[in-house]
Structure 1
Amino acid sequence: MSTNIVNAVDSGIIVIDPSGGILVWNDWMQQNYGIASETALGKNLNELFPAPRNAILLEAVGHCLSTPTAAPSIISGELFPVTVAGGKTSSGHPMQNATIKPLTVNGSSGTCLVQVHDKHIELCAPDILREKERLEVTLASISDAVIITNDEKQIEFLNAAAEQLCGWKSENAVGLCLDTVLNMTSEASNLDPDLFHGDNEFKYLDAGLILISASGTHFPIELSVAGIPGEPGTDAGSVVVFRDISHSQRMEERLFWQINHDSLTGLENRSQFEHRLHSLLITQEAKHQEHALLYLDLDQFKIVNDTCGHAAGDELLREITSVLKYKIRQSDSLARLGGDEFGVLLPNCPLDAALRIANGLRKVVKNFRFAWEGKIFALGISIGLVPFNGSTEDASNIMISADTACITAKDEGRNRVHVFKHGDSAASRRHSEMQWVSHIQSALDNNRLTLHRQTIVPLSKQGTTPSHQEVLVRLFDEDGTLIPPGAFIPAAERYNLMPEVDRWVITATFKHLSKSLSNGTATDLLITNINLSGTSFMEEGFLEFIINQLEKFAIPPEIICLEVTETSTIANLDEALSFINALREIGCKFALDDFGSGLSSFGYLKHLPVDYLKIDGSFIKDILQDPIHSAMVEAINQIGHVMGIQTVAEFVEDEATMTRLREMGIDFAQGYHIDKPSPL
């Protein structure tokens, strides 16, 4: 819209950013000075109008950029542009004047507008009519609604889109007060009375505005207002641009629900559950009440999963969710915390009442029978109960205490409720910590970690895009049992052992790649992905360790792609950016793992300089059945591509899913359908 309007103006328009770079160069400038828009954009003004012959212009623009509050200035004379291929000569160009004035965009000052007028161009009445017709055709053809007012805020023009949204015909609206036709209210608070009045400054509102049409229909809208400058110090009117955002608002609501809920069970997820807990703790009324939190862990879930497969496990979780929902109070919150773990927040619930609810949940699960393909399974549930009030605990400590109590319930024989008490917290925690610390530390000391690999393939059938391989760590127990990462990585992260594990993985991977490169084997063509924990790139000296290992084993940085999770990166944004930028400067690539699972995926993505987005597998595995997940994957892919980031789909388990991902334009795929992890 704005480009068409700027190009329709019969004078030169140049917009210059605070650093002196040209942001806008309209068609008039190209036609009259022989310098194409693509040549001008991004250059400094002094590159196109060099000193000393254009010193007056450059001085005026410099003053405008350095003094955002400066009054508009007018200069007269000739401009002497540089000579470009196919352009005009630098013999000068007669002009009547050039107006230089500060410009405020989106509330930020420091931008400069230069408007150039040729003195030999004097529009006659037919010319003016043609210009007016051209502008009206342009405004009528755009999808945004546009209303133009005079200095009395009376409507002079509204386009077809504005007619449709406001419910007014142009012939009936012209001459009326803007407030009569543009009838708005605000969800959040009263409207700013100065929204359509003031100093010609550009104003933009995108939250909470509701347009009430003549028929009474309500539309959520985004709206911007720009003043039309008149005589110095006066306002000749306003241009109001707005659009209906009903569709995007519905999509935002869906995305918000998706971000805060577990897709399998429909329950709130861990992050939303923790947010509820935190909100309860800071509520003034809650500070004087007794509350409780339950941490639930199914006891026989792994048997069902291993015996009948993941489909049975998913169905079991859905059925257990239904069972649990009807045994809690309306004021309570039930969430899936991950895997086979659930949480229940019991506000305003004394310990004795919380114990009754916890035992009720335990009994209903014990009496429940899960049937799958002729097999019947009895289940149990271990529950950790933490009583608390708003004045003595913080959310993190409550969650840790509940987890500890749940682990204790399992250690004591499962299918029971264990109430957390401050007196036994140290013993319970030491038991849990030592159990995991000794396992992992022993594996590190005795070289019982091992590496597996899984191929990541390009989905495009064209070109020569190479495959990737992801390196995956496994642990051999003392009896030789191979333990998957899901069993020990969470504990390693919790007890700060991941930096040591990540160092082992990096060294072992680089050592293997060094041998492959020396032997000229096929792996030297693969980009190798290595997972990093958030605690690792936060650790002092870890960046230098990676650089030293690259040099020690002579590994080309271009074949290394480091995977970091969205959650850990956003939680430590400044440190993550420093770490990522340092390694990307020497050639390493970065992938953002589990993308889409965090709270603010899209909002933070523009700040993260990554090369790949690995779309969270929970969205991929059922895109053929779930239209919301399919839309999420498409949205992530489109946004990634707009930002120049390639996309990777995880959890690809069948050919139909792979075909659908290829149709969507996803760049890479990874999963059991393509390749199962195998020893490196």
Structure 2
Amino acid sequence: MQNKEIRYELRYGRVHPLTQLPDRRRFINTLANSTANKLALLNVNGFWNFNHSFGYTVGDQILKTISQRIQKRFAHAGVFHLGGDEFAILAGKEIEKEQFIQTIESCLWYFGYSPINVENEKIYAPLRIGVAIGYDDLFLHAEFAIKQAKRIGKDLMIYDAASPTLCNPQSTARSEIAWEKTIRDALKKDRFEVFTQSIVGGKIPKVECLVRLKLPNAEIVSPFLFLHHAKRANLYEAITKIVIQKAFAFFADKPTEFSINLTLDDILDQSRVDFLLEKMYEFGVAERLIVEITEGEGIENHSEVLSFLSLLKSQGVKIAIDDFGTGYSNFEYLVKLKADFVKIDGSLIKNIHKDATHKAVVEAMIAFAQKVGMKTVAEFVANEPIYLTCKELGIDYFQGYFFDEPSPIDK
């Protein structure tokens, strides 16, 4: 697609009323009648958090700023606003593939580290991008790319028809249908199990509760393979309640502290919150319960979340921040959530015995945690050198395959 063709579409096409960019219908028409061979789909990670926290008027202003930033970086390509926080970048052969990808990567970095000022606060609006290059059906493959990026937790996924790839949207769709059937069947036949892994250190035994799926052939499946399918099929809530029920019932009469993982969706869903509180009182486990929440979900921006965590702490429940050190870590996050434990992400721990930078970052986390009275937990402690380095630095607790692998709760 030539630049003059893009300019024509931008000038005379239907536009989105908020950003004044060509809208989804104009994008579809342009794509169908052009020779474009490169497409990037962009969305903003957690954009709905902004509307929820600041209101839709402020959310619209943030969206305008985002659209202006995108237009500035892709001045020589077609930029479209597909609706909500979704944008599309369409380019033809006049833009080299390497240049297009380099601009995409630069855009990712810029959005991830350049805050937007909102009501005297600095907020970040990191992007997730799916790119398709050289396919007959660019839109289908770009949509597949961005879904895959979300599924595996990446910011960018590129599918290039000129390179070997496993990109197969039809095959993936069939796989998702099969997984949904497997999950529904497992729910009906009670094949979701709770596993535990030890958290070593201190006088009181501690474990983390982890969900596993048992297939009909007795194979045990990691949540990495099925949880995203469960969320897509609206079955995640049922799995969360199973873990709560089984874990609370098992530890009701045991002198062990145990943790369960809650997502932002769990905490904002009143049904799940009510179920958690009901079972907490039924089994009397509050003072031995640790609730783990993951850094980077925008949790600290929700008044409902802060109120919920405050309620839990008033009942004796402890709070742990999981995977700290991923995303855009900040210590203010820990203070705002009044965490009891900081679980340092395995990406920092696994090479701490031979990577000076990772070691320095972890040392800073430990020093801060000690000053504010929080305990630290090293995740992914896989061998003795890692353990000894973590212990030397003053980390309080340790978790990983060096000590034990996750095993069924009753074993």
1:443 counterpart residue number? 186
Q: How far 1:496 sits from its partner (Å)?
A: 4.0
Q: Structure 1 residues 674, 419: closer, same or farther in 2, change over 3 A? A: closer
C-alpha contact (below 8 Å) 1:293/1:344 kept by paired residues: no
2:71 counterpart residue number? 283
Q: Hey, which of these two has a bigger chunk of strand by percent?
A: 1
Give, in whole Å, the separation in 2 of the partners of 1:472 and 1:285.
43
C-alpha contact (below 8 Å) 2:73/2:103 kept by paired residues: no
Give, in whole Å, the separation in 2 of the partners of 1:418 and 1:450.
32
Which amino acid in structure 1 is aligned with residue 271 of structure 2? G
Which amino acid in structure 2 is aligned with residue 542 of structure 1? R
Match of 2:358 among 620, 626, 629: 629
Match of 1:481 among 200, 209, 219: 219
Q: Is 2:360 the counterpart of 1:581?
A: no
Q: Is 2:98 the counterpart of 1:328?
A: yes
Give, in whole Å, the separation in 2 of the partners of 1:538 and 1:605.
19
Q: Is 2:146 the counterpart of 1:386?
A: no
Secondary structure of the corresponding residue to residue 297 of structure 2:
helix
Secondary structure of the corresponding residue to residue 528 of structure 1:
strand
After TM superposition, the structure 1 = structure 2 runs for residues 186-585 of structure 1, keeping only pairs within 5 Å, are 282-283=70-71, 286=74, 289-290=77-78, 328-329=98-99, 331-333=102-104, 354-355=133-134, 385-386=141-142, 399-400=146-147, 415-416=164-165, 431=174, 433-458=176-201, 465-514=203-252, 517=253, 524-552=254-282, 554-570=283-299, 573-585=302-314
* Aligned-CA RMSD value: 4.2
Which amino acid in structure 2 is aligned with residue 537 of structure 1? I
Give, in whole Å, the separation in 1 of the partners of 2:73 and 2:330.
33
Give, in whole Å, the separation in 2 of the partners of 1:651 and 1:282.
38
Q: How far 1:477 sits from its partner (Å)?
A: 1.9
1:666 counterpart residue number? 395
Q: What are structure 2's unaligned runs of at least 5 residues?
A: 1-42, 48-65, 80-87, 91-96, 109-127
Q: Structure 1 residues 467, 399: closer, same or farther in 2, change over 3 A? A: same
Give, in whole Å, the separation in 2 of the partners of 1:419 and 1:477.
25
Q: Structure 1 residues 659, 600: closer, same or farther in 2, change over 3 A? A: closer
Give, in whole Å, the separation in 2 of the partners of 1:525 and 1:585.
20
Give, in whole Å, the separation in 1 of the partners of 2:402 and 2:89.
40
Q: Structure 1 residues 475, 442: closer, same or farther in 2, change over 3 A? A: same
Give, in whole Å, the separation in 2 of the partners of 1:551 and 1:661.
36
Secondary structure of the corresponding residue to residue 567 of structure 1:
coil
C-alpha contact (below 8 Å) 1:654/1:673 kept by paired residues: yes
Q: How far 1:289 sits from its partner (Å)?
A: 2.3
Q: Structure 1 residues 334, 288: closer, same or farther in 2, change over 3 A? A: closer
CA-to-aligned-CA distance 1:234-284 (integer Å, 9 cap, x gap): xxxxxxxxxxxxxxxxxxxxxxxxxxxxxxxxxxxx999x9xxx6687325
Q: Is 2:352 the counterpart of 1:605?
A: no
Give the structure-1-normalised TM-score.
0.40
Q: How far 1:481 sits from its partner (Å)?
A: 2.0
Q: How far 1:490 sits from its partner (Å)?
A: 2.8
Which amino acid in structure 1 is aligned with residue 177 of structure 2? M
Q: Structure 1 residues 435, 419: closer, same or farther in 2, change over 3 A? A: closer
Secondary structure of the corresponding residue to residue 386 of structure 1:
helix
- Identity of aligned pairs, percent? 31
Q: How far 1:457 sits from its partner (Å)?
A: 0.7
Q: How far 1:529 sits from its partner (Å)?
A: 0.9
Q: How far 1:574 sits from its partner (Å)?
A: 2.1
Which amino acid in structure 1 is aligned with residue 258 of structure 2? T
Which amino acid in structure 1 is aligned with residue 134 of structure 2? L
C-alpha contact (below 8 Å) 1:612/1:647 kept by paired residues: yes
Q: Which has the higher contact order (CA 8 A, sep 6+)?
A: 2
Q: Which structure has the bigger radius of gyration? A: 1
Give, in whole Å, the separation in 1 of the partners of 2:377 and 2:142.
41
Give the structure-2-normalised TM-score.
0.64
C-alpha contact (below 8 Å) 1:498/1:533 kept by paired residues: no
CA-to-aligned-CA distance 1:27-65 (integer Å, 9 cap, x gap): xxxxxxxxxxxxxxxxxxxxxxxxxxxxxxxxxxxxxxx
Q: How far 1:435 sits from its partner (Å)?
A: 3.3
C-alpha contact (below 8 Å) 1:646/1:667 kept by paired residues: yes
C-alpha contact (below 8 Å) 2:325/2:345 kept by paired residues: yes
C-alpha contact (below 8 Å) 2:300/2:333 kept by paired residues: no
Q: How far 1:443 sits from its partner (Å)?
A: 1.3
Q: Structure 1 residues 598, 559: closer, same or farther in 2, change over 3 A? A: same
What is the number of equivalent residue pairs in this alignment? 308
Give, in whole Å, the separation in 1 of the partners of 2:358 and 2:270.
39
Q: Structure 1 residues 644, 534: closer, same or farther in 2, change over 3 A? A: same
C-alpha contact (below 8 Å) 2:324/2:342 kept by paired residues: yes
Q: Structure 1 residues 645, 475: closer, same or farther in 2, change over 3 A? A: same
Q: Hey, which of these two has a bigger chunk of helix by percent?
A: 2
Secondary structure of the corresponding residue to residue 614 of structure 1:
strand
Q: Structure 1 residues 454, 637: closer, same or farther in 2, change over 3 A? A: same
Secondary structure of the corresponding residue to residue 622 of structure 1:
coil
C-alpha contact (below 8 Å) 1:334/1:344 kept by paired residues: no
Secondary structure of the corresponding residue to residue 610 of structure 1:
coil
Q: How far 1:498 sits from its partner (Å)?
A: 2.5
2:385 counterpart residue number? 656
